[in-house]
Chains A and B, each alone.
Chain A
Amino acid sequence: MSEHSGMVQKRGIGHWFTHLGLIIGVLFIFFPIWLAFVASTVTQPEIVRPPMPLLPGGHFIENYSKALFSGVNAPVALMMMNSLIMALGITIGKIIISLMSAFAIVYFRFPGRTIFFWLIFLTLMLPVEVRIVPTYQVIANFGMLNSYSGLIFPLIASATATFLFRQFFLTVPDELTEAARVDGASPMQFFWHILLPMSRTNIAALFVILFIYGWNQYLWPLLITTDPSMNTIVMGIRQMFPSGDDLADWPVIMATSILAMVPPVIVVISMQKFFIRGLIDSEK
């Protein structure tokens, strides 16, 4: 590339090479999804006689309505509903309990406070994948298999969000607390009217991260939802493949894959600003 045309940023030919490189990268990222989309708009015979077409066909509505309303084991609309309940349950549940406990840890002194803090800190270390067997037994003992609470609670039990809110609350100026106390505000009034409104951006950022985390869960729903009507969409796709040598219903499976991406992608794109912030903050 020509090094003399500009100083650091490229103009002229170098500039176009930069764009070309990026466009190749974008195409590479898009290709698997494009292929899935094309497969979701053609017929089964077009796919099983390779090579399949590389441009969309005319069976979009047919394949998507088949997936949504009948599916393979359960209608995909139902699986999306399950995913939505699970993702929102995890997101909202985690945000609420984290706000409460971070408030308690930062704004009060009580016996055992340090111990609680470290206990919470410990949970940062252990992803659900590591403790699946005993957690499964707990859920089974409570009769929570094939239930929303069984899907949601074990995934709320980690303290990333508590840690994040704690960090944020520590940066809130003491003068505000002082002023609230002078005005005779109770701790909960301070929480509702001052702390919560100030935390809006952090809550939004966390919402994006947690929603994607919840929606994309795979192993946990795979273990505890044996009833197809409780399957989530992300784990349900794999269940749509027939066992043995039977031919998979590719157009319907690919339509389901696309449907599984749509909600989290919409959340990321529409809340991009919060998402980038949340991502970078949550890793600090």
Chain B
Amino acid sequence: MEKRVIFKGWMLPALLLMPQIVITAIFFFYPAGQAIWQSMFVPDPFGLKTQFVGLGNFEYLLNDPYYRASFLTTAIFSTLVTVVSMGVALYLAILADRLIKGSGTYRTLLIWPYAVAPAVAGVLWMFMFNTRVGVVSWYLGLLGYDWNHVLNEAEAMGLVVAASSWGRISYNFLFFLAGLQAIPRSVIEAAAIDGAKFWTRFRTIVWPLLSPVTFFLMVVNVVYAFFETFGVIHTITSGGPQQATTILVYKVYSDGFVGQDLGSSAAQSVILLFVVGVLTVIQFKFIERRVHY
């Protein structure tokens, strides 16, 4: 799409674009280029010189059992976060959509956790399940269950998934509710008159009509789980126990800043860059399709 009516001159637009171009060049393109450049070098043990290794860092990473484990951890983590947060949100949205009045009130009550930072969500959940003072872990202990996410890998994963999904429910709820409310009442009522029960109506009418929203949310939630949950992981588990919750973004941080292995960290950045690229293409492909509906 283009404007037919435009203004003349090139000085003014150049000036207008200048701030964005300068900031993007310095803080975006230069670092991104650096990441690609650094990914092809390894520093010597004293950190004085670097040696060119080409794709060596990538080769090393893809054969590194820890990196492969981190890939698997990320896959499990993001799948669980997506399924849990979307499942709960869809359930609540279906309920809110059934109300004639009052869905707005519930919407207000449910949306504000969106404003809670992932890192703060992490602290809240860590507090509830703290092995020493946590209320939930204490009551679990009464029931005979010994909760310890500091040592138990599955419990650690469960906790970071719960904390990450919790903050995400609001967002998914908003989109599901908007999607449900966009479905024409008449279609659903016609099915109800024909005697279709709730589940039949949901399976045959609502779910298919909701699928564009569902698909969009899937992509967005995977992106969220990949990149925005760093705060949750860092506050609750710091990637442990035994790297059981070290997702890819956490590994870029821990290898780059804690381990000071810049070449490997840069190579990991480049791999992530590729992952984001693929996700973005999927998202835009889908949006293009939605525009044609």
Contacts and interface: CB of A to CB of B under 8 A. Distances in A.
A268 B192 contact: no
B227 A127 contact: yes
A238 interface: yes
Contact of A29 (B10, B110, B119, B287): B110
A97 B120 contact: no
Contact of B120 (A48, A153, A261, A283): A261
A265 interface: yes
A50 B133 contact: yes
B24 A10 contact: no
Interface stretch (B56-64, B134-142, B150-158): B134-142
A108 B117 contact: no
B143 interface: no
Interface size band for A: 35 or more
A278 to B, nearest CB: 11
Contacts of A138: 26-27, 30-31, 34
B138 A51 contact: yes
Contacts of B116: 33, 216, 261, 264-265
A131 B128 CA distance: 33
A132 B253 contact: yes
Interface string B118-129: 111101110110
Interface in B233-274: 234-235, 249, 252-253, 256-257, 262, 265-266, 269, 272-273
Given A52-B133, A257-B120, A268-B114, A101 B16 contact: yes
A59 interface: no
Interface stretch (B46-54, B74-82, B90-98): B90-98
Nearest to B163: A32
B34 A137 contact: yes
Interface string A96-135: 1110110111111111010010011001111101111111
Interface residues of B, number: 101
Given A52-B133, A104-B16, A135 B111 contact: no
B161 interface: no
Contact of A234 (B16, B88, B117): B117
B198 to A, nearest CB: 6
Contacts of A268: 111-112, 114-115
B32 interface: yes
B166 A280 contact: no
Contacts of A260: 117, 120
B280 interface: yes
A109 B6 contact: yes
Interface string A214-237: 011011001100000000001101
Contacts of A130: 35, 227, 249, 252, 269, 272-273, 276
Given A126-B28, A138-B30, A153-B27, A22 B95 contact: yes
Contact of B3 (A19, A104, A107): A107
A107 B5 CA distance: 8
Contacts of B100: 9
Contact of A238 (B23, B91, B108, B123): B123
A159 B20 contact: yes
A216 B244 CA distance: 25
A131 B269 contact: yes
B117 A25 contact: no
Given A133-B35, A134-B32, A218-B230, A104 B112 contact: no
Interface of B: 1, 3-10, 12-14, 16-17, 19-21, 23-24, 26-32, 34-35, 38, 88, 91-92, 95-96, 98-100, 102, 106, 108-121, 123-125, 127-128, 132-135, 138-139, 166, 169-171, 174-175, 178, 185, 188-189, 192-193, 197-198, 216, 220, 227-228, 230-231, 234-235, 249, 252-253, 256-257, 262, 265-266, 269, 272-273, 276-277, 280, 287
11 contacts: A7-B192, A8-B189, A26-B110, A33-B113, A50-B134, A104-B14, A123-B28, A130-B276, A157-B28, A159-B20, A264-B116
